[in-house]
Amino acid sequence: MIDSTLMAELLIASVACFGAGAVAALAAARCPSVARILGHTSSLVGAVAAFSLGVSGLAGGSIALDVPDLLPIGGAAFGVDRLSAFFVVVIAVGAIPASLYAIGYTREYAGKSSLPGMAVAFNVFVAAMILLPLARNVLTFLVLWELMSLASYFLLITEHEREETLDAGWVYFVMTHAGFAALFMGFLLLAQATGTMNFIQWGAAAANLDPTLRNLIFVLLAVGFGSKAGVVPLHVWLPRAHAAAPSHVSALMSGVMLKLGVYGLVRLAFDWLGVASVWWGGLVLVIGAVSAALGVLYALVEHDLKRLLAYSSVENIGIILIGLGAAMLFQIHRRESLAALALIAALYHTLNHATFKSLLFMGAGAVLQATHTRNMEEMGGLIKRMPQTAVFFLVGSVSIAALPPFNGFISEWLTFQSLLLSFQISAHTVNLIFALGVAALALTSGLAAACFVKAFGITFLALPRGAAAALAREVQWTMRAPMALLTLACFALGVAPFVILGLLDATTFDLMRVHAELKFGWSAVVANGGFGWVAPLWIALGLVAFLLAIPLALRLLGANKQRRYYETWGCGRALQTARFEYTATAFANPFKRVFAPLYRPVKHLDIEFHPESRYFVRSIGYRHEGRLIFEDALYRPLLRAIQALAHRARVLQSGNVHGYLVYILIALVALLILTV
């Protein structure tokens, strides 16, 4: 058994490190580069301590830590169980490399932004995220949630001199607080109905809730957590925010913060409320499928490297929710062991996404720092200028495209297995939902491969399309080391899933009291008896063996190995420049045509003719833009309605202080009458 005092010490040490980091950064405010290094180093140490805490929690340790005087109404309450510990590990896996990366990356901001301020916000952000899954009552949770949102907001607007950043910050601020409001209402309703603010007692009390109220609470909390996770249609803040934030923050927001929304949904469905109706699971699965497919479709046509990665996060959250929704459907149909399998798939993908998405955002940050642009149309040829970053980004791309032998493959494979096993449920509607889930996931994985061929190929291969890309230089080691670390993690989680599957099985066992229909050892993972199996380690070994054997065999065959370098074949043109290369726009064009109803592209063709004759063209401008359905159809009308309402409400704003005092009095009396 794990010593719980040791775990409590780890928790306190971790929080102390973040506190010390924030204080040190403030104290060294006079010397920004010291503040930068001190602040991020101590967050690195804090994240390592949190990682140890998470691992010992996964190994079976548990603590309950109450600090009664820290907060009103019940005090601050923390606890560790396996699910919490798992998410602490996920966060630490993102936070450790991000802290290290920040040391090098924030150097760019010297003289432009407040480095001490960034270090303080960074420490608060990571600390809030690590504590959040440990919160054990409503107020602790909400305070940490808000702290996380605010700290990330301040980090996001680091480059506040740009209009685009402030705009992104504003959208993020509004969306995150709309989500907060939904959470707040849901929590209060649940607390009132169960008579306790304490999370641990909710599970037992929820069974006796009125079904309508239970549905309402589910929807409110799902909206709150969903908006943080970035599911369609609540995803609109994501591409803006993750593109505008500094890259180490994007890595954390995308790789880690979204996962806290997933954490909330898992808690909601398997701890607090249980799964009460079939439609809950169906809704989660369908929303997951829609998010996955739309996320990757929007990512495909994006030329801003960081926006592309942000949309791909929507996709991956969708994949996680497909697994979660499947788990909920299995649960309500009393197939607990399959529910555990689906939930394991979802949690595994959560961890995997934290590794490869952090890796990719860091790679994008390195490219951004080397080329000073996020526009892929100005990149190219970086594999020669930044060979190491290219390898890291390639591994991230292969992982996120779910290809063997890397980690994304295992979790998607598990998700497929659990979806295919749905034939064990005999309810036609549910079967159909599962079949569509399979189709959506398959389409998503194919499109994700296409998307990352584009992301890596256009950015790193062929000739540089811009002057900055031609002069790019490899980034410093503090930025390469964390990427190398995550690259190794992607590989290790891909070839040795048995390391993590045992812990995940224990985690789902704690929630469902049933072991998953899954056998695994170092050589293979087997789902549901002999329903499906895969041996990732053997696949990796096979790949290596054949890669070595083929050149050897060619030598034995006496194949010609002379190599001559010559220019690319260009139909006999004398000159071959980067202007002949396929662009990101062109690459995505087949998808734009096939999915035109979704993108509803608009073509702009501006031709300037020669004044003397229309047969001579002076310049041609061509733009081919997509439109965003959700922004146009959902948010703009909503904003207009709110604006109109606000216009009406202006009558109340007299500007007279006495008037406002009367309002306050009326509100107070009304509340008193309502409650008494």
Partner 1 sequence: MLIEIGIELLQLLVVMLGSPLLVGVIQKAKARLQGRRGATIFQPYADLRKLLAKEMVVSENTSWIFRFTPYLLATTMLLSALIVPVLTTRAALGFMGNIIALMYLFLLGIFFLALAGLDAGSAFGGMGSSREVALAALAEPTVLIAIFGIALRAGTTSLDGIITRFSAEPLLMLNAGHLLAFFAFFIVALAENGRLPVDNPATHLELTMIHEAMILEYSGRLLALVEWAAAMKLFLFLTLLSNLFFPWGVALANTPLTLVTAFAALAVKLFLFATAIAIVETSVAKLRLFRVPELLAGSFTVALLAVVTAFFIR
**Least gap, CB of 579 to partner 1 (angstroms):** 10
**Least gap, CB of 289 to partner 1 (angstroms):** 11
Query: 428 or 648: whose CB is closer to partner 1?
Result: 428
DSSP 8-state class, residue 651: G
Query: 10 or 376: whose CB is closer to partner 1?
Result: 376
**Least gap, CB of 415 to partner 1 (angstroms):** 10
Query: 8 or 535: whose CB is closer to partner 1?
Result: 535
Query: 232 or 447: whose CB is closer to partner 1?
Result: 447
Nearest alpha-carbon partner for 418 in 503, 518, 513, 494:
518
Largest CA distance in the chain: 97
**Least gap, CB of 401 to partner 1 (angstroms):** 6
* Three-class DSSP labels, 31-51: CHHHHHHHHHHHHHHHHHHHH
Query: 50 or 410: whose CB is closer to partner 1?
Result: 410
Query: 557 or 674: whose CB is closer to partner 1?
Result: 557
**E strand or H helix that includes residue 78:** strand 76-80
Half-sphere exposure in the Cβ direction for 580 (13 Å, CA): 11
Query: 62 or 576: whose CB is closer to partner 1?
Result: 576
3-state class of 164 per DSSP? helix
**Least gap, CB of 474 to partner 1 (angstroms):** 15
Contacts for 252 with CB less than 8 Å, ≥ 6 apart:
94, 95, 98, 125, 126, 129, 152, 358
d(CA 248, CA 260) in angstroms, rounded, equals: 18
3-state class of 63 per DSSP? strand
Q: How many CB atoms are located within 10 Å of the residue 468 CB?
A: 14
DSSP string, 85-143: HHHHHHHHHHHHHHHHHHHHHGGGGTTTS-HHHHHHHHHHHHHHHHHGGGB-BHHHHHH
d(CA 372, CA 369) in angstroms, rounded, equals: 5
Nearest alpha-carbon partner for 419 in 439, 446, 401:
439
**Least gap, CB of 593 to partner 1 (angstroms):** 6
Query: 229 or 525: whose CB is closer to partner 1?
Result: 525
User: Angle at which helices 115-131 and 138-156 pack, to 10 degrees?
Assistant: 150
**Least gap, CB of 635 to partner 1 (angstroms):** 29
Nearest alpha-carbon partner for 491 in 350, 345, 352, 390:
352
3-state class of 605 per DSSP? strand
**Least gap, CB of 558 to partner 1 (angstroms):** 8
Residue 76 β-bridge partners:
67
Query: 177 or 600: whose CB is closer to partner 1?
Result: 600
Q: How many CB atoms are located within 10 Å of the residue 638 CB?
A: 10
d(CA 551, CA 549) in angstroms, rounded, equals: 6
Query: 394 or 634: whose CB is closer to partner 1?
Result: 394
Residue 150 Cα distances to 72, 147, 180, 257, 595, angstroms: 21, 5, 12, 13, 37
Query: 151 or 398: whose CB is closer to partner 1?
Result: 398
3-state class of 466 per DSSP? coil
d(CA 7, CA 26) in angstroms, rounded, equals: 29
Query: 46 or 464: whose CB is closer to partner 1?
Result: 464
**Least gap, CB of 439 to partner 1 (angstroms):** 4
**Least gap, CB of 534 to partner 1 (angstroms):** 5
**Least gap, CB of 367 to partner 1 (angstroms):** 16
Query: 348 or 452: whose CB is closer to partner 1?
Result: 452
Contacts for 110 with CB less than 8 Å, ≥ 6 apart:
32, 33, 36
d(CA 272, CA 374) in angstroms, rounded, equals: 42
**Least gap, CB of 14 to partner 1 (angstroms):** 38
**Least gap, CB of 296 to partner 1 (angstroms):** 9
**Least gap, CB of 6 to partner 1 (angstroms):** 41
Token look-up 């989500």 returns 179
Query: 79 or 494: whose CB is closer to partner 1?
Result: 494
Are 418 and 326 spatial neighbours (Cβ–Cβ below 8 Å)? yes
